[in-house]
Amino acid sequence: MLRLRPIQAHWFETYVPREQTLLATELLASSGAVQLELDPRVPERVDTRKLHDAIQGYRALAEAHREDLPNSQAQPTALVGSPTLLARTALHQLQAWAKRVDYLHQHQEQAQAELDYLRLLDEGLATLHAAGIDLEGLTHHSHFLCKCLFACPQDDADSDSDSDSDSETETETETETDSDTETHSDGKPALQALVHRVAHGPRHDFALLLGKPEDADIVRRMVLEQGCEPLGMPSWLSADRGQQRRDIDSLRREKQARLEAIEAELARLRADPKIAAAHANLETLAWYLEHAAHQLGAHDLCHITGWTVAPEPGQLQQRLWDADIRAIMRFPEPPPSVKSPVMTLNTWWAQPFQPLLLMWGTPGQAEVDPSGVLALIVPLLFGYMFPDVGHGLMLVAFALFFWWRWPAIRFLLPCGLSAMLFGLLFGDLFGFDTLIPALWLKPLEAPMIVLGVPLLFGVLLLLLGLVFAGLEAQWRGTLQQWLEVDAAVLVLYLLLLLTPFVHEILWLVPLALLHYFVGSAMQARAQRLAVLGAALGEALGRLLLSLFELALNTLSFLRVGAFALAHAALSHAIMTLADTDSVQHPLGWLLILVLGNLFAVVLEGLIVFVQTTRLVLFEFFIRFLHADGRIYQPVHQPPTTQ
């Protein structure tokens, strides 16, 4: 529905018990029709320092446990009570939950490490048994030998065991290690001298190292640097291979069951409804801290104030009553020092053109909201200056494809459709003026008509702006003053435009001038001006200035037709360039057409948008729009209710 006057927000106030403040604020915000604003007559504010500290603690915890924390989109509990106490209670729940999660993660890592060790031990025992290496001597403690077993990745272990690959039956006597060997830069000679046996497993190579007790640190350092890890033999290990496998399998089942129990408990904690509610509560409290806490007065009864555009203000009070908040909502006169916000037309077809209005400003409560009119004016001006079915189709496709990424380009959709419409009227498709018949005319064949139509459109648009100014005068209660002077300017403008075509109405011009000067004299007398002649001279100057501005504004619309002709000329130039004798190959002809049309779409699209914006702002808006209002900005809804 087209609405010319912006919706004026009404001031509301209500007093609710402090323990119900958060719930009441959330309910009002979820209506989408409330802008919270502190009453300037209330000097005190809510102390939010402790609440801020609790929210900061929550943010740190949520960041550290974002993988495990339940979804915050759950429905929060009824937040009745002190916001700070509610935040601390929810945070305490999350902290206790986080400690349990951290504990389980530690034991999960430990159980997984033990499982990995048992798998490696099983592989090592099987490999050593197959290689015939005696494990009994390895497990017995000796004061004379450093006996170590290492599991190495096969790619790394191969290079260390090359010297032993010729024979795997070396003697088990202690290897003498010269002390100078340890000074080698890479340590490999010292290490290779200690290697007693190497057994190759399916995934690892198991190296048995024997050396003096003082060689233990060298062995560990040198081998660990090569990606190996020590494989200790547990004290419970039996000498019988069959018993070894049974013992290891039993332990693996036990560790696997423990790991699965831990993962099951973690899954339950990740889906805990109480923790999800606490998470949602803290998200709502964070929203409250950001958007609402600073707008509320600090008393035993919380004084919530602001603006609303609800069609039935009683609906807001009913929302509170439905939540068992027995608060009375009042709609008194707003504070005298605060300007009422207004909401402009917000329908789906007017929204794409609101940024154009906001370039000029927000209309006041007694001004016309041109949002709905722009949805008609802008596409008509744009399409007339950019008349091409193919180019319009490209704009429509671009808008549809990138709408989700850049919502601000939605205006290209109606503008592209308008360009396609005028392309049909002018018979233009990607510069080809013979592919489709012109439903109206060819621009280059009738340039005067192409220039004259937008001139007439501009006259009608300027007259509409002057009428809007009169409508605003009626809303402000100054219609009589407008009729005395400004209405005479409108009549004079219309008469001067019609006189060249209808000479008989020329005699009405003196009557319109008389109307203007009599009205100016009446206003001068009402203002008690001392010198009537000076007032009339000032009125004459204002009249000449107004008529001169109207004439210039009218002529500005000639550019609309001029750009339509320029588009046709540019299309003709592209086609002429493509059809020249120098372009012999079809690919060259196609390349010129594609690049030429892309150039035309980008360049003309940008220029036409700038010209459309200029005509709307400086020829139309200047007639009536003073933009002395402020836009209505409803408070954002809590994330759990959006």
Q: Give 85 or 466, the one with higher predicted confidence.
A: 466
Task: Specify if 222 maps to a domain.
Answer: yes
Task: Specify the pLDDT at position 593.
Answer: 87
Q: Give 82 or 337, the one with higher predicted confidence.
A: 337
- Do 434 and 565 have their domain in common? yes
Q: What DSSP designation does 529 have? A: -
Of 118-122, 253-257, 291-295, 499-503, minimum mean pLDDT range: 291-295
Decide: 547 and 489 in contact? Cβ < 8 Å: yes
- The most confident of 31-35, 132-136, 450-454, by mean pLDDT: 450-454
Give residue for tokens 């060298």: 218
DSSP for 558-610, please give it: HHHHHHHHHHHHHHHHHHHHHTSTT--SHHHHHHHHHHHHHHHHHHHHHHHHH
Q: Give 156 or 612, the one with higher predicted confidence.
A: 612
Q: Give 562 or 286, the one with higher predicted confidence.
A: 562
Task: Specify if 641 maps to a domain.
Answer: no
Task: Specify if 173 maps to a domain.
Answer: yes
Measuring CA to CA, which residue among 575, 555, 622, 567 is closest to residue 383?
567
Mean pLDDT of 124-136: 76
- Do 332 and 381 have their domain in common? no
- Do 338 and 379 have their domain in common? no
Percent of the chain with pLDDT over 90: 40
- Do 366 and 320 have their domain in common? no
Per residue, what are the HEC states of 290-334? HHCHHHCCCCCEEEEEEEECCCCCHHHHHHHHHCCCCCCEECCCC
Instruction: Examine the fold and report which residue of 223, 255, 287 is the final residue of a domain before the chain moves on.
Output: 255
CB-based contacts of 183: which residues, under 8 Å, 6+ apart?
Answer: none
Task: Specify the pLDDT at position 176.
Answer: 36
Q: Is the model's pLDDT at 473 over the cut of 90?
A: yes
Q: Give 144 or 640, the one with higher predicted confidence.
A: 640
Measuring CA to CA, which residue among 462, 391, 460, 403 is closest to residue 432?
391
Q: Is the model's pLDDT at 183 over the cut of 60?
A: no
Q: Is the model's pLDDT at 47 over the cut of 70?
A: no
Instruction: Examine the fold and report which residue of 205, 238, 255 is the final residue of a domain before the chain moves on.
Output: 255
CATH number for 321: 3.30.70.120
- Do 335 and 371 have their domain in common? no
Mean pLDDT of 15-34: 86
Task: Specify if 638 maps to a domain.
Answer: no
SS3 of residue 439 by DSSP: coil
Decide: 127 and 200 in contact? Cβ < 8 Å: yes
Mean pLDDT of 110-129: 86
Mean pLDDT of 538-556: 93
**pLDDT-derived band at 375, boundaries 50, 70, 90:** very high
Task: Specify the pLDDT at position 163.
Answer: 39
Task: Specify the pLDDT at position 184.
Answer: 41
Give residue for tokens 């290897």: 175
Beta strands 329-330 and 7-8, pairing class: unpaired
Q: 477-496 pLDDT, tens per residue?
A: 999 999 999 999 999 999 99
Q: Is the model's pLDDT at 191 over the cut of 70?
A: no
98 HSE (CA, 13 A, CB side):
20
Decide: 377 and 560 in contact? Cβ < 8 Å: no
Task: Specify if 275 maps to a domain.
Answer: no
Task: Specify the pLDDT at position 175.
Answer: 35
**pLDDT-derived band at 182, boundaries 50, 70, 90:** very low
Task: Specify the pLDDT at position 584.
Answer: 66
Task: Specify the pLDDT at position 121.
Answer: 84
Of 94-108, 134-148, 415-429, minimum mean pLDDT range: 134-148
Mean pLDDT of 514-532: 77
**pLDDT-derived band at 193, boundaries 50, 70, 90:** low
Task: Specify the pLDDT at position 95.
Answer: 93
- Do 314 and 376 have their domain in common? no
**pLDDT-derived band at 57, boundaries 50, 70, 90:** very high
Mean pLDDT of 333-339: 85
Q: 376-391 pLDDT, tens per residue?
A: 999 999 999 999 999 9
Task: Specify the pLDDT at position 85.
Answer: 84
- Do 360 and 502 have their domain in common? yes
Q: How far is CA 132 from the centre of its chain?
A: 67
Measuring CA to CA, which residue among 372, 374, 369, 307 is closest to residue 334?
307
Q: 74-113 pLDDT, tens per residue?
A: 556 666 667 788 889 999 999 999 999 999 999 999 999 8
- The most confident of 195-199, 234-238, 382-386, 589-593, by mean pLDDT: 382-386
- Do 358 and 337 have their domain in common? no
Q: Is the model's pLDDT at 433 over the cut of 90?
A: no
Task: Specify the pLDDT at position 78.
Answer: 62
Decide: 631 and 341 in contact? Cβ < 8 Å: yes
Of 34-43, 192-201, 541-550, minimum mean pLDDT range: 192-201
Mean pLDDT of 216-231: 70
Task: Specify the pLDDT at position 153.
Answer: 80
In total, the chain counts a number of residues equal to 642
**pLDDT-derived band at 20, boundaries 50, 70, 90:** confident
SS3 of residue 521 by DSSP: helix
Phi, psi of 580 (to 5 degrees): -70, 160
Task: Specify the pLDDT at position 164.
Answer: 41
Task: Specify if 154 maps to a domain.
Answer: yes
Q: How far is CA 131 from the centre of its chain?
A: 64
Q: How far apart are CA 198 and CA 206, in angstroms?
A: 6
- Do 428 and 534 have their domain in common? yes
Per residue, what are the HEC states of 364-412? CCCCCCCHHHHHHHHHHHHHHHCCCHHHHHHHHHHHHHHCCCCHHHHHH
- Do 384 and 501 have their domain in common? yes
Decide: 629 and 364 in contact? Cβ < 8 Å: yes
Q: How far apart are CA 421 and CA 427, in angstroms?
A: 10
Task: Specify if 80 maps to a domain.
Answer: no
Q: How far is CA 560 from the centre of its chain?
A: 36
The per-residue pLDDT of the chain, averaged, comes to: 83
Domain extent, residue 155, equals: 114-255
Task: Specify the pLDDT at position 155.
Answer: 63
Task: Specify if 202 maps to a domain.
Answer: yes
Task: Specify the pLDDT at position 472.
Answer: 95
Tokens of 264: 């099951």
Q: How far apart are CA 103 and CA 171, in angstroms?
A: 49
**Domains held by the chain: number:** 3
Decide: 505 and 490 in contact? Cβ < 8 Å: no
Mean pLDDT of 407-418: 93
SS3 of residue 538 by DSSP: helix
Task: Specify the pLDDT at position 142.
Answer: 55
Query: How far from 16 is each of 34, 204, 304, 511, 533, CA to CA, in Å?
Result: 16, 72, 8, 64, 63
Task: Specify the pLDDT at position 168.
Answer: 38
- The most confident of 19-23, 181-185, 196-200, 453-457, by mean pLDDT: 453-457
Ramachandran category for residue 627: left, alpha or beta (phi over 0 → left; psi -120 to 50 → alpha): left
Task: Specify the pLDDT at position 83.
Answer: 79
Q: Which run of H or E residues covers position 58?
A: helix 49-64
Decide: 312 and 53 in contact? Cβ < 8 Å: no
Mean pLDDT of 419-430: 94
- Do 421 and 484 have their domain in common? yes
**pLDDT-derived band at 144, boundaries 50, 70, 90:** very low
- Do 304 and 360 have their domain in common? no
Q: 258-307 pLDDT, tens per residue?
A: 999 999 999 999 888 888 888 888 888 887 787 666 666 555 678 888 99
Q: Give 127 or 417, the one with higher predicted confidence.
A: 417
Q: How far apart are CA 582 and CA 23, in angstroms?
A: 77
**pLDDT-derived band at 185, boundaries 50, 70, 90:** very low
- Type of residue found at 553: N
Q: How far is CA 246 from the centre of its chain?
A: 59
Ramachandran category for residue 187: left, alpha or beta (phi over 0 → left; psi -120 to 50 → alpha): left
Q: Give 219 or 341, the one with higher predicted confidence.
A: 341
Q: How far apart are CA 466 and CA 621, in angstroms?
A: 10
Task: Specify the pLDDT at position 156.
Answer: 44
Q: Give 578 or 556, the one with higher predicted confidence.
A: 556
